[in-house]
């Protein structure tokens, strides 16, 4: 019998938790739950004797890993795994997986709703504008980017995309216009929706040079990660360009510096992209199934380290 912990500072919907419990107990393993913890010490204590952990944006650091002596597998119920120390995991022979695609629809719907919110002046009662006929650039064309393209076309937007890892013909097949370079994407589109992962290459990559290429009324929608934005450059750009708007599901580090741009920015108080009942069930159950399968058969599909 393996001990499987769900450790979520931001909890899943209760239906998802029930579903995970059923999968874990149905395979004769022990289900353990740590939700809404406020102190790292609670996590360190909870991981002490578990064999597997299901997390969301919870940080699995070297410290957590050394406190989890029996840990064999961590599954990030979601896409981005920059919250897990992959090196420390590999050094300790711990398998790390994610659940790609399982919460993508929720994130894509939020990206489009943030676009509408910005276009309508954050619902300030004054005349805004419509998305129809406007150009949208999708930066990274993975699971989320592809759904954003589909929904945006429903709005009547002209959809462009750039992804260094996805060939132009695949982008065209999905109904978007491929751009030759990231600079080309930003120069062509009034709206940009960001879907790049956070890693050493992308950190601070959304900088002044790139953002300043955006046409008048430029609006950046970030449902990805705050780390990819060069924050000082974003502040510089918004100071110089009174037409520019920034909407993010992830608040920057220096939120206070943005108060000078009233009416041109919005940051969710808590990351909401994947916070739907459906996404919680899809990602949570997928994570539980992947762990059970790994213990039963050694299946390492979705391993990221
Ligand atoms: C992801 O990477 O899957 C999303 O950012 C969701 O993160 P969350 O599970 O912390 O809401």
pLDDT confidence of 218, banded at 50, 70, 90?
very high
Contacts of 232 (CB under 8 A, 6+ apart): none
Contacts of 41 (CB under 8 A, 6+ apart): none
Give residue 268 CA to ligand 1 midpoint distance, Å. Answer: 13
Task: Count Cβ atoms below 10 Å from residue 290 Cβ, excluding itself.
Answer: 24
Within 13 Å and on the Cβ side, how many CA atoms surround 17?
A: 13
299: buried, middle or exposed (CB in 10 Å: 19+, 13-18, 0-12)? middle
Pocket mutation for ligand 1, best pick of 8, 9, 56 (most atoms within 8 Å of C-beta) = 56
% of the chain exceeding 70 in pLDDT: 100
Give residue 76 CA to ligand 1 midpoint distance, Å. Answer: 9
Indicate the SS3 state at residue 105: helix
Give residue 271 CA to ligand 1 midpoint distance, Å. Answer: 8
How do residues 231-271 score in pLDDT, each as one tens digit?
999 999 999 999 999 999 999 999 999 999 999 999 999 99
Query: Averaged over 271-285, what is the pLDDT?
Result: 98
Contact 133, 157 (CB under 8 A): yes
Cα–Cα distances in angstroms (integers) from residue 207 to residues 113, 203, 231, in the given order: 24, 10, 8
Instruction: In whole angstroms, give the CA distance from residue 231 to residue 226.
Output: 8
| 52 strand-pairing partners | 4, 73
**Cβ(57) – ligand 1 distance below 6 Å:** yes
Residue 7, pLDDT score: 98
Residue 251, pLDDT score: 96
Q: Minimal CA–CA distance to 255: which of 239, 273, 235? A: 235
Indicate the SS3 state at residue 201: coil
Contact 251, 234 (CB under 8 A): no
Residue 287, pLDDT score: 98
Query: Averaged over 132-159, what is the pLDDT?
Result: 98
% of the chain exceeding 90 in pLDDT: 100
Give residue 279 CA to ligand 1 midpoint distance, Å. Answer: 10
**Cβ(245) – ligand 1 distance below 6 Å:** no
pTM exceeding 0.85: yes
How do residues 80-115 score in pLDDT, each as one tens digit?
999 999 999 999 999 999 999 999 999 999 999 999
Instruction: In whole angstroms, give the CA distance from residue 34 to residue 17.
Output: 11
Residue 213, pLDDT score: 98
**Cβ(284) – ligand 1 distance below 6 Å:** no
Domains and CATH numbers, the chain: 3-102+276-297 (3.40.50.720), 104-267 (3.40.50.720)
Give the position, in ligand 1's atom list, of the atom nearest the Cα of 224.
5
**Cβ(79) – ligand 1 distance below 6 Å:** yes
**Cβ(80) – ligand 1 distance below 6 Å:** yes
Residue 305, pLDDT score: 98
pLDDT confidence of 166, banded at 50, 70, 90?
very high
Give residue 263 CA to ligand 1 midpoint distance, Å. Answer: 27
Give residue 251 CA to ligand 1 midpoint distance, Å. Answer: 14
Going by CA atoms, what residue is nearest to atom 9 of ligand 1?
56
Residue 164, pLDDT score: 96
Pocket mutation for ligand 1, best pick of 11, 102, 103 (most atoms within 8 Å of C-beta) = 103
How do residues 31-73 score in pLDDT, each as one tens digit?
999 999 999 999 999 999 999 999 999 999 999 999 999 999 9
Mean pLDDT, the chain, integer? 98
Indicate the SS3 state at residue 119: helix
Query: Averaged over 114-141, what is the pLDDT?
Result: 98
């Amino acid at each position: 019998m393996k001990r499987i912990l769900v450790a979520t500072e931001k909890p899943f919907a209760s239906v998802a938790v029930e579903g995970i419990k059923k999968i874990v107990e149905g395979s004769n393993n022990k289900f353990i739950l740590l939700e809404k913890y406020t102190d790292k010490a609670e996590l360190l204590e909870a991981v002490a004797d578990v064999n597997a952990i299901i997390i969301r944006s919870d940080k699995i650091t070297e410290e957590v890993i050394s406190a989890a002596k029996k840990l064999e597998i961590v599954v990030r119920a979601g896409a981005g795994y920059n919250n897990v120390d992959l090196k420390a995991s590999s050094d300790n022979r711990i398998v790390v997986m994610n659940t790609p695609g399982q919460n993508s629809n929720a994130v894509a719907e939020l990206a489009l709703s943030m676009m509408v919110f910005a276009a309508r002046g954050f619902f300030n009662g004054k005349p805004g504008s419509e998305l129809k006929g406007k150009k949208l650039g999708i930066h990274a064309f993975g699971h989320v980017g592809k759904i954003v393209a589909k929904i945006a076309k429903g709005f009547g937007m002209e959809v462009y995309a750039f992804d260094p890892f996805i060939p132009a013909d695949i982008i065209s097949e999905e109904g978007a216009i491929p751009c030759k370079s990231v600079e080309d994407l930003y120069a062509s589109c009034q709206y940009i929706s960001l879907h790049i992962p956070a890693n050493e290459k992308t950190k601070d990559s959304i900088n002044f040079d790139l953002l300043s290429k955006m046409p008048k009324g430029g609006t950046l929608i970030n449902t990805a990660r705050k780390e990819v934005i060069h924050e000082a450059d974003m502040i510089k750009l918004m100071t110089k360009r009174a037409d520019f708007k920034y909407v993010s599901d992830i608040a920057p580090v220096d939120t206070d510096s943005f108060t000078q741009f009233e009416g041109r920015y919005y940051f969710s108080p808590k990351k909401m992209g994947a916070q739907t009942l459906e996404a919680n069930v899809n990602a949570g159950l997928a994570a539980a199934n992947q762990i059970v399968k790994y213990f039963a058969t050694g299946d390492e599909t979705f391993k990221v380290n």
